[in-house]
Amino acid sequence: MDRIYLDYAATTPVAQSVIEAMLPYFGTEFGNPSSAHYYGQLAEGAIEQSRRDIKKVFNADDYDVIFTSGGSESDNLALRGAALEQRKRNGATKILISSVEHDAVGHTAAQLQQKSGFISVKLRVAKNGIVDLSQLKEQLNKQVVLVSIIYGNNEVGSINPIKEAAKLCHEHGILFHTDAVQAAAHLKIDLSDLDVDYLSISAHKFYGPKGVGALFKKKFLPLLPQITGGGQESGFRAGTSNVPLIVGMVKALEINNESINAENSRLIALRDKLITNVLRTIPESQLTGHIKDRLSNHASFVFDGLSGNDLLIALDMAGYAVSSGSACKVGNPKPSEVLLALGIKPSLALGSLRVTLGKSTSENDLDKLLTDLPEVVKNLRKEKQLKNGN
């Protein structure tokens, strides 16, 4: 069976040139960057070159780059590390997050509330998934220790006004973090302009390897290390540096950013064709997230009268790899909290579908999907109706 991969928000394949860039650091140049000898120096050279290169991509001269094991670790380090250290300095205990955060932020904030004496408050989002800045403004006061708002949402694709949010926080001297795990693959991020205090990324979303990411932290801002040990990463994250993966991440990022504008134009055209045709050909369908301010590769829907899990299975069997918005291989049909936060009613939220495009996606792929999807949806609805009728 011909299979079509349309789940690039879940993960992406590693580019061949990235694999080649990594290979020497598994074998011939295997040294530990912390070692004093020649082998160590070679490895350290590679890491520090990568650090300079990634700063260049993000225009991040005023930032420390802390290499981590990925997006979740970066989010955990930012939330825990900033909240715990900042509370020590100013006594503030309230953490504000949006109601559409990835669990790496949401669950961490919840745990900080349950176990460490913080108060976690969720900010409203509009129907289009964009965080309500007026509510943020109302909430900002001396009690707030940290604000974290996702940049590009993984489930509904909406892009939040991060620059404005960071500015509001800074007017009150409050620290601001953004989870840019999805956004980094599709937005040209200029940190000197965006001016956030902490920013998380993960390599495997932009054709880099899994298991590596980074946290950008504005210089001199507080951060309590969450992994302590040998003092690597300027003491912010202990553990022997994963040299090949770090080299691979930065190489992938450079390649991705070289063509980001052209690729975005191509993807937006495909995405909008997909959205238009799905809404036109499938009755009782609805786009989730913002119609324009959304990730260039991201189309997400809800369909009335069917289960998202059944839809994924039917599409997988037809050769399409898609998602319902968040990982749900366990078949647990709880409506997504993100969709509920957008005001979508629970029965509708169960019928969610996320299609995310990437470098190998062709117009032909989408034409095929657009031929099959209405049929699949129709059949599933008929089945469900029959069953409920019985």
Q: Which residue has the tokens 């020497």?
A: 24
Binding of another protein at residue 324 (CB under 8 A)?
A: no
Binding of another protein at residue 148 (CB under 8 A)?
A: no
Least distance from another protein to the Cβ atom of residue 347, Å: 13
Number of residues that bind another protein (CB under 8 A): 13
Q: Is 169 part of the annotated catalytic residue set?
A: no
User: In what side-by-side order are the strands of the sheet with 285-287?
Assistant: 285-287, 298-303, 352-356
Query: Smaller CB distance to another protein: residue 266 or 384?
Result: 384
SS (H, E, C) 233-283: HHHCCCCCCCHHHHHHHHHHHHHHHHCHHHHHHHHHHHHHHHHHHHHHHCC
Least distance from another protein to the Cβ atom of residue 381, Å: 12
Binding of another protein at residue 367 (CB under 8 A)?
A: no
Least distance from another protein to the Cβ atom of residue 276, Å: 30
Least distance from another protein to the Cβ atom of residue 100, Å: 24
Which residues fall within 8 angstroms of residue 363, CB to CB, at 6 or more apart?
A: 270, 273
Task: Give SS3 for 78.
Answer: helix
Binding of another protein at residue 317 (CB under 8 A)?
A: yes
Least distance from another protein to the Cβ atom of residue 313, Å: 5
Which region among 113-121, 214-222, 244-252, 306-314 touches another protein (by CB under 8 A)?
306-314
Catalytic, out of 328, 333, 370, 372:
328
Contact assessment for residue 225 and residue 236, using Cβ atoms and an 8 Å cutoff = yes
Least distance from another protein to the Cβ atom of residue 315, Å: 11
| Interaction mask 330-359, another protein, x per CB under 8 A | xxxx--------------------------
The correct pick among 284, 316, 363, 367 for binding another protein (CB under 8 A) is: 316
- Which of 364, 375, 370 shows the shortest CA–CA distance to 2? 364
Binding of another protein at residue 62 (CB under 8 A)?
A: no
Binding of another protein at residue 313 (CB under 8 A)?
A: yes
Binding of another protein at residue 383 (CB under 8 A)?
A: yes
Distance of alpha carbon 348 from alpha carbon 303, whole angstroms = 6
Which residues fall within 8 angstroms of residue 111, CB to CB, at 6 or more apart?
A: none
Sign (positive or negative) of CA dihedral 11, 332, 71, 353 = positive
| Strand duo 144-148 + 175-179: pairing | parallel
Query: Smaller CB distance to another protein: residue 58 or 303?
Result: 303
| Interaction mask 253-292, another protein, x per CB under 8 A | ----------------------------------------
Task: Give SS3 for 58.
Answer: coil
Rg of the chain on CA atoms, in Å: 22
Contact assessment for residue 123 and residue 155, using Cβ atoms and an 8 Å cutoff = no
Which spans of this chain sit near another protein (rule: CB under 8 A)?
Answer: 307, 309, 313, 316-317, 329-333, 379, 383, 387
